[in-house]
């Protein structure tokens, strides 16, 4: 029998080894998040999934689920902090949603809608990071990077290529390409790589397919991120051995 903890007054069952985030999603309860991905070990870089656990804040993607925990997530205190984090991410990068190919498929944009972020909140920094269009099939727009590290981890842990990395510290931290020239054309990246699939914003784009799916008919145009994340959440196998939902993007 599964142990349980309380999330916003609901009883959430969990298995040994699950985090609060994993158990919540599997149980049909959405906790806002950006850098969490079910196929990678959580590392808590974005802090959007921060909750209150027994009165103290913790990242739910890394917090081990334990019996008897009292977790608060969908409260104004936490949602207010999440709105501030999302506003900071919009201000730190060049996110012009109406003209972005990722609009409607962008996790940051969808999270902004879900959290009702209506204003920028901060003065935009307008970073000047040159685009990399050197590769024949792939475009990189570094100005949109939110430092989630998903492409770094996917390229290293799944693709075994280490195409991407992060350099610098603090406000100067940024995404780079691991090539002597610093250009994507001088790497062995391929369109089929996992790194091509995990970017939550519009940094890594395949060329010549832009707007093939019209805005208005895209992932988060059809269903809000809170519903989509629950659809994608991994589920435990039922008695017949089948899984009630497949793994997907967060």
Which domain CATH number covers 38?
3.10.20.740
What's the rounded mean pLDDT across residues 183-199?
Answer: 98
Considering the chain, what is the average pLDDT of its residues? 92
Rounded-to-integer distance, Cα 250 and Cα 229, Å: 5
**Are 138 and 204 members of one domain?**
yes
pLDDT at 237 over 50: no
Q: For the chain, how many residues are written?
A: 250
70 assigned to some structural domain: yes
Query: Which CATH number covers residue 158?
Result: 3.30.70.20
Confidence check: pLDDT of 177 > 60 = yes
Q: Based on C-alpha coordinates, what's the Rg of the chain?
A: 19
Q: In terms of Cα–Cα distance, which of 237, 233, 236 is closest to 249?
A: 233
Domain limits for position 10 = 3-74+223-232
Task: Please report the sign of the dihedral spanned by the C-alpha atoms of residue 86, residue 152, residue 208, residue 219.
Answer: negative
Check residue 248 and give its pLDDT: 37
Residue 31 in any domain: the answer is yes
**227 and 196, same structural domain?**
no
131 and 207 within one domain: yes
Nearest to 164 by CA among 143, 192, 142, 144: 142
């Amino acid at each position: 029998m599964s142990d349980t903890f309380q999330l916003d007054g609901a009883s959430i069952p969990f298995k040994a080894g699950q985090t609060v985030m994993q158990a919540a999603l599997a149980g049909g309860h959405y906790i806002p998040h950006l850098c969490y991905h079910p196929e990678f070990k959580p590392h808590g870089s974005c802090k959007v999934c921060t909750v209150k656990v027994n009165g103290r804040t913790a990242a739910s993607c890394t917090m081990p689920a334990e019996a008897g925990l009292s977790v608060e997530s969908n409260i104004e205190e936490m949602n207010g902090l999440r709105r501030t984090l999302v506003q900071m991410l919009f201000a730190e990068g060049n996110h012009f949603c109406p003209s972005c190919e990722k609009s409607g498929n962008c996790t940051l944009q969808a999270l902004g809608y879900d959290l009702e972020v209506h204003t920028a909140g901060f003065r935009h920094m307008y970073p000047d990071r040159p685009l990399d269009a050197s590769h024949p099939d792939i475009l990189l727009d570094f100005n949109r990077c939110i430092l989630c590290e998903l492409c770094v981890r996917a390229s290293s842990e799944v693709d075994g290529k280490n195409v991407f990395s992060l350099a610098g510290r603090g406000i100067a931290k940024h995404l780079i390409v691991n090539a002597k020239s610093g250009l994507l054309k001088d790497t062995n990246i391929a369109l089929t790589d996992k790194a091509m699939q995990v970017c939550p914003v519009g940094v890594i784009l395949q060329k010549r397919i832009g707007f093939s799916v019209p805005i208005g008919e895209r992932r988060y145009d059809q269903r809000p991120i809170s519903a989509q994340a629950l659809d994608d959440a991994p589920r435990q196998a039922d008695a017949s051995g089948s899984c009630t939902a497949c793994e997907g993007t967060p």
